Amino acid sequence: MSRTSAAGPVALRTGAEMRTTGRRGSANVVCVNGGQAGRAPGTWSASLEWLVRAVAPICPAVSFSEVRYRVKSWRALDLCEEDTRAAIEETGAERTLILGFSMGGAVAVRSVDAPGVEGILGLAPWLPVELELDALRGKRLDVLHGSLDRPLPGIPGVSPSSSRRGFERARRIGAHGSYRLIPGALHGIALRARTGLVPLPRAHSWAALVAATIGEWAAV
């Protein structure tokens, strides 16, 4: 397997699935998806898949593990957390960064105290006021958010002001990191079409900033 090819999915102890891009080593990025209100079977995230394909060649010293939840719903966060912890355990990496997209931001926060996890990279992360952040004390939290992200009728989204409030809450209890807006970017990074993955506006800006943040983390 080359450094930029993805291994076939493996079953986790919870019944969820994980697929890994790059050779497993000491540093791994566990990528967790967003969700919805209704309980639905987990799917592979088009946004995370596109990002991993774009970023993995730039960060060859890091492997990337995408998680497919059993159920993708913010009403089943306990299950999503269990799946994420099982993925972290399965990688066996000494150092882990959790990359959480949308609802995956909350899942990442709930899993950040797992062994070897050093921090979170949140992409348009959902960090509601009810979310307990104490486990982030002393950890790294970096947030990237599209400036045009908004929840709209029938269209999922997370406002930048919401993630900013969550970020500032985390800083007040001792987390460290950065918050960056991506001008002109939406909530997602890519969509899945019959022809394959289709990048959304500013997708390459997302990829550049994700690669830079992961590279900085891996070099520490």
Q: What is the 3-state secondary structure (H, E, C) of the chain?
A: CCCCCECCCEECCCCCEEEEECCCCCEEEEEECCCECCCCECCCCHHHHHHHHHHCCCCCCCEEEEEECCECEHHHHHHHHHHHHHHHHHHCCCEEEEEEECHHHHHHHHHCCCCCEEEEEEECCCCCCCCCCHHHCCCEEEEEEECCCCCECCECCCCHHHHHHHHHHHHHCCCECCEEEECCCCCCCEEEECCEEEECCCHHHHHHHHHHHHHHHHHC
How far apart are alpha carbons 20 and 65 in whole angstroms? Answer: 4
- Could you tell me whether strands 63-68 and 95-101 are parallel, antiparallel, or unpaired per DSSP bridges? unpaired
- Residue 184 — left, alpha, or beta (φ > 0 → left; ψ -120 to 50 → alpha)? left
pLDDT tens, residue by residue, 144-184: 999 999 988 777 899 999 999 999 999 999 999 999 999 99
Q: What pLDDT score was predicted for residue 7?
A: 74
Nearest to 48 by CA among 87, 95, 2: 87
Q: Parse the chain into domains and list their residue ranges.
A: 10-219
Question: Does the model's pTM come out above 0.85?
Answer: yes
Low-confidence ranges of the chain (pLDDT < 50): 1-3
Q: What pLDDT score was predicted for residue 1?
A: 30
How far apart are alpha carbons 200 and 220 in whole angstroms? Answer: 31
Q: What pLDDT score was predicted for residue 5?
A: 59
Q: What pLDDT score was predicted for residue 80?
A: 97
Is domain 10-219 annotated with CATH 2.120.10.30? no
